[in-house]
Structure 1
């Protein structure tokens, strides 16, 4: 063992040979003596102090480290938490369940209130049918974009000849014309939709606006044709010439390409107006409120599913939590048991160290006696028995914590024998509680739908 020094090292450290020479000069040891000399007693003191003392310090430090590690285990706490799985479940789901119930109640109230608004809207406007509109706005805007780009490309071809910038200038002019047509189409669609309103004054205003916008749109389309024709005559004064010809003779367009532009712009305007009109219900405002109701209807349907899914996720979290506690408990028990075994091994090694130290002391005493015999140059005298350790005076390891933990180990082994059953009961408790919560939420949803008139009994 590394803690016990070699005999030669101890002889050198103690300077036994010098001791013997000094003792021999002083007439020590006496012939046929029966008591040990002071030097022999100092050998025992050296081994006790320098050898056993250091070994004791190292072994005690090891024992203290193991004791500190064992003192940090939470086996009883983890076992109790597994055993009281129901309280753990209630602590985990208490706040979340209240949040789910509150969310369902708020969702039911909002959905019910908006349904009531829809019924009031229908009653006030004399509507007995469902709203008719296009669900996909992406497709709607895609078609509008396609019409605008197609009109721009066709008109750009005709406007490029007279433009100072060529095709690029013609493209920008055509694009501006397409945007103006889009604006006219939007106003026409709104005016046409308001012509179906139940309010007579609003219907009249919409009809007047429709007629005015149609007139402006026709004038603008014809003006585009006159502008195209004026570009052939003089590109620098084409705008003035187009306005003059439009005022004098609106339909007097002699250029065939200009008429094609008029037709293209007119068709694009009508297509845009038709597309903007049919995307929503013909009755103004009916689509907007219907969309909001359906969004809340879908949100309400998803709210129940999300609540159930939330409970399932919560059950998975609790299962994982219990599994982690069970895993941690087993790991701590294994470490606790291994630590006790290491502590017992340390104590056993210390006893072995004492035996080895006694052997070292015997060797040192024999060397002292044999060397003194050679120095005296006579037959070996009787030196008495070899020195023995006074065991009751040797330092002892403090094993108070170890003894307590050995008793705890027996208790922990009993807990581990019941751990599987406790864990299974905990999982079953989580499953039963979560199933009960899901049933409670289903009952709550049925009650809310009946109380708020979201479905018939």
Structure 2
């Protein structure tokens, strides 16, 4: 707040200095001499909205600070260094609420765990309960890892074409996580086969082959395509499919370009604050007398510009 306004507010009974040029921004009550509170709030909301709007524009021009801002004096001084880069020409895409994403993740873990419980129950001493405890552990690791590392981090790191280091890092994260998840699901499938072999061996009175059940990872590594039962194959297909769904939900959890959704949310919040300030000013009987006031006109115009901005630059 300007110094003159602060001094004025510290002197409740004082009249404003007519030479301070405050009449363009505020309205004084002729009886009390106090600044109109509605206009004060509107002025603050307008300033915040303008700042958030400019931040979003800069984010779009620079692709999240990935390239220099061509509107700055340092950059525009040398025309030959300006890259031929188009700004982001779409609105941010992100859900208003994440409840659906969390519900889908919970459903994936629960459904895969219940389905795998049947596959693991064959060789478990605890039957279906023991199989479910094993299955839910595998399912939770499979779904959450795919969601977070592949979808939410890896794919989004690769979405910004002007951040090469992020793209390389994202590709590495996706590749390593995919290999790890394939190994996890393949090991789980082989484990299911070994459990059945274990149960069959015990039923036949033998015990010499049962030790192999303790090393399903090595069994999967030695014979990746050697699944011996339909149940094991179904377990592998189910696990990889649910991992792919979880990765997709991670990718759509927020906008593909990191930081874009955050900049847009800040502008939306600032716009909501501006709307509330305009509504409050419209209800003020003193402000109603100033329909042509510059601050009111500017705030209304800015609000329209922000609403168009939020629809995407192609619409502005």
TM-score normalised per structure 1: 0.48
In 2 relative to 1, CA 254–108 (structure 1 residues): closer, same or farther, beyond 3 Å?
same
Q: CA deviation at 1:262?
A: 0.7
Give the root-mean-square deviation of aligned CA atoms: 3.0
1:124 and 1:305 map into 2 onto residues whose CA distance is 34
* 1:437 paired residue number: 287
Instruction: Tell me if structure 2 keeps the 8 A contact 1:112–1:452.
Output: no
Map residues 333-412 of structure 1 onto 2, 5 A cutoff: none
| Residue in structure 2 matched with residue 121 of structure 1 by the alignment | 59
TM-score, scaled relative to structure 2: 0.67
Distance 1:102 1:161, change over 3 A: farther
Superposed CA offset, 1:124-172 (max 9, x none): 1131222223333222322222222211211122222322332222222
Which structure has more RCO (C-alpha within 8 Å, separation ≥ 6)? Answer: 1
Aligned length: 242
- Inter-partner Cα distance in structure 1 for 2:157 and 2:127: 42
* Kept in 2: contact 1:163–1:169 (CA 8 A): yes
Alpha-carbon spacing, 1:447–1:227, altered in 2? closer, same or farther (3 Å): same
CA distance in 2, matches of 1:194, 1:256: 38
Q: How does 1:289-300 map to 2 (within 5 A)?
A: 289-300=263-274
Larger Rg: 1
Q: Matched residues in 1 for 2:97 and 2:139: separation?
A: 24
User: Matched residues in 1 for 2:145 and 2:281: separation?
Assistant: 48
Change (3 A) 1:102 1:240: farther
Q: Which of the residues 131, 143, 149 maps onto 1:187?
A: 149
Partner of 1:273: 247
Unaligned runs of 5+ in 1: 1-87, 312-433
Displacement after TM superposition at 1:259 (Å): 1.0
User: 1:238: how far off?
Assistant: 6.6
- Rate the CA distance shift 1:441–1:180 in 2: closer, same or farther, 3 A: farther
* Aligned counterpart in structure 2 of residue 447 of structure 1, from 298, 302, 311: 298
Structure 2 CA distance for partners of 1:207 and 1:438, relative to 1, 3 Å: same
Q: Distance in 1 between matches of 2:56 and 2:213?
A: 51
User: Quick one: which of 229, 232, 243 aligns to 2:193?
Assistant: 229
More helix by share: 1
Taking the aligned partners of 2:88 and 2:187, their CA distance within structure 1 comes to: 42
What is residue 262 of structure 1 aligned with on the other side? 236
CA distance in 1 between counterparts of 2:289 and 2:122 reads 75
Structure 2: runs of 5+ lacking an equivalent: 1-28, 64-86, 200-209, 309-316
Match of 1:218 in 2: 182
Supply the distance in 1 between the matched residues of 2:53 and 2:110 (Cα, whole angstroms): 40
**In 2, Cα distance between equivalents of 1:188 and 1:218:** 13
Distance 1:232 1:212 in 2: 30
